[in-house]
Amino acid sequence: MSRKLIAGNWKMNGSRAEWRALAAAVVQQAQGVAADFVVCPPAAGLADVATVVQGAQVALGTQDVCAHGNGAHTGEVSTTMLKEFGCTYAIVGHSERRTDLAETDGLVAAKARAALAEGIVPIICIGETEDQKTKGLTTKVLDGQLRGSLKDVRPARAVDIVIAYEPVWAIGTGKVPTAADITEACAHIRSLLIELLPDTGKSVRILYGGSVKPENAAEILTLANVDGALIGGASLKAESFVGIARAVVAKAA
Ligand code: 13P
């Protein structure tokens, strides 16, 4: 089994004291666990968390990036600034931003290109809504989102980008697709990646996200073409976040 990427999206939660404590607990508990870890605090917490994870096995990620370079973009944070904080990953196109801020596939692709240009690995999120799933549109939606969100995105190496498949209806709901549905969606994403990125697509990591917990992690993360997880709620406690990795490593052993 290849090494899994376990990414925590803390969303807009916590306080300075809580971010520092959570990061320290993750660093401590991740020691010796055979997985790659990344934590993505809110932008306001990057400096605090950066000092805690520095030199540890846990990478620092951001929940968003600006598609533009430094300049007149009020309220935004550039990739060069994020790089200075030690960010090596950036979530782009999360469904909450696609919904709350009307982010389009084109904007997501521009953010992915900006991250890539700065040596930050974009974690590009895609996923269908419940309505789209009910109507049998999942494959079509994933197809459109992936093609649009990868427009002119050209990673030199497979490790330079990550795709996160997050069915919108599974986020924060406790609902999880069947193993067969995840397998089908991720197989489709893999075939598209091979088509769009002939040199690297075969090995780009695909994460599953949506109500992942230690209890369901071993089943989900050992499915074909699932190379890790993007975790929301369960990433807010070090025990459950690292517990997800432990469950997968234990099953593989
Ligand atoms: P939950 O793990 O809380 O369902 O959130 C998933 C998610 O949105 C991660 O980006």
Quick count: other Cβ atoms within 10 Å of Cβ 84? 12
Beta bridge partners of 123: 91, 162
Q: Which domain covers residue 56, as residue numbers?
A: 4-252
pLDDT of residue 250: 86
Residues with catalytic function = 94, 166
What is the whole-number distance in angstroms between the Cα of residue 250 and the centre of ligand 1?
23
Task: Locate all alpha helices (DSSP H) within 31-87, ordered by sequence.
Answer: 46-53, 79-84
**pLDDT tens digits, 16-72:** 999 999 999 999 999 999 999 999 999 999 999 999 999 999 999 999 999 999 999
Percent of the chain whose predicted confidence (pLDDT) is above 90: 97
Nearest atom in ligand 1 to the alpha carbon of residue 211 is: 4
The pLDDT assigned to 1 comes to: 67
Q: Which amino acid is at 148?
A: G
The two three-digit tokens of residue 94, written as one number: 């999360």
pLDDT single digits (tens) 123-162: 999 999 999 999 999 999 999 999 999 999 999 999 999 9
**Which tokens is 171 given?**
């986020």
Q: Which of left, alpha, beta for 102 (phi over 0: left; psi -120 to 50: alpha)?
A: left
Is the pLDDT at 244 greater than 80? The verdict is: yes
CA distance linking residue 99 with residue 92, whole number of Å:
13
Q: What distance in Å separates the CA atoms of residue 235 and residue 8, rounded to the nearest whole number? A: 5
pLDDT grade for 251, boundaries at 50, 70 and 90: confident
Exposure on the CB side of residue 56, measured as CA atoms within 13 A: 23
- The reported pLDDT for the residue numbered 253 is 79
Residue whose CA is at the smallest distance from ligand 1 atom 2: 232
Number of domains in the chain: 1
Any idea what DSSP says for residue 167?
-
- Strand (E) or helix (H) holding 162: strand 162-165
Q: What does the pLDDT average to over 188-210?
A: 98
Span from the CA of 211 to the centroid of ligand 1 (angstroms): 6
Q: Pick the residue whose CA is nearest to atom 5 on ligand 1.
A: 232
Residues with CB under 6 A from ligand 1: 9, 94, 166, 171-172, 209-212, 230-234
Distance 208 CA to ligand 1 centre (A): 10
Q: Which domain CATH number covers 175?
A: 3.20.20.70
Tell me: pLDDT of 80 over 90. Answer: yes
Q: Tell me the pairing of strands 121-126 and 87-92.
A: parallel
Mutate to test the pocket of ligand 1, among 230, 237, 241 (most ligand atoms within 8 A of CB): 230
Percent of the chain residues past pLDDT 70, beyond the cut: 100
Distance 94 CA to ligand 1 centre (A): 10
